[in-house]
């Protein structure tokens, strides 16, 4: 007895697809925030917003980013501290200072900075 295989075409089944957005930055890139005074190194990328609604709603509406764009996880630093930040693509720019990012978690994920970016350690690559 043979089994019939059927394929469900989600595009015609009424299932909405989010718009495809391309990431402008890569893991290991050093970036800075367009508005706020901090910079960081990207360690993960979400193709679209993937945080909590509570986090999103806490952003003032007049500066709240769209959800349909890449969001980046950064090992970030400012003049006072280092921390993890979650930032929309529209709010990031390449940091061309060639200065390393001062964050205690960098050495656990990345090799030394080279050519203005960090390379993931071998054990963290897939």
Domains and CATH numbers, the chain: 20-121 (2.30.30.390)
Task: Read off the tokens for 28.
Answer: 């290991």
Report how far residue 84's alpha carbon sits from residue 81's, in angstroms, rounded to the nearest whole number.
Answer: 10
Q: pTM value? A: 0.82
- 34-91: per-residue pLDDT in tens? 999 999 999 999 999 999 999 999 999 998 999 999 999 999 999 999 999 999 999 9
Buried b vs exposed e over 46-74: b needs ≥16 C-beta within 10 Å?
A: eeebeeeeeeeeeeeeeeeeeeebbbbbb
How far apart CA 14 and CA 17 sit, in angstroms, is: 9
């Amino acid at each position: 007895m043979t089994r019939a295989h059927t394929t469900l075409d989600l595009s015609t089944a009424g299932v909405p697809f989010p718009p495809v957005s391309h990431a402008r930055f890569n893991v290991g890139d050093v970036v800075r925030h367009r508005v706020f005074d901090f910079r960081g190194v990207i360690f993960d990328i979400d193709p679209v917003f993937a945080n909590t609604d509570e986090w999103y709603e806490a952003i003032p509406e007049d500066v709240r980013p769209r959800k349909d764009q890449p969001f980046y996880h950064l090992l970030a630093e400012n003049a006072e501290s280092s921390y993890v930040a979650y930032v929309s693509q529209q709010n990031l720019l390449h940091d061309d200072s060639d200065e390393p990012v001062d964050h205690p978690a960098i050495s656990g994920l990345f090799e030394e900075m080279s050519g203005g970016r960090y390379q993931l350690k071998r054990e963290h690559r897939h």
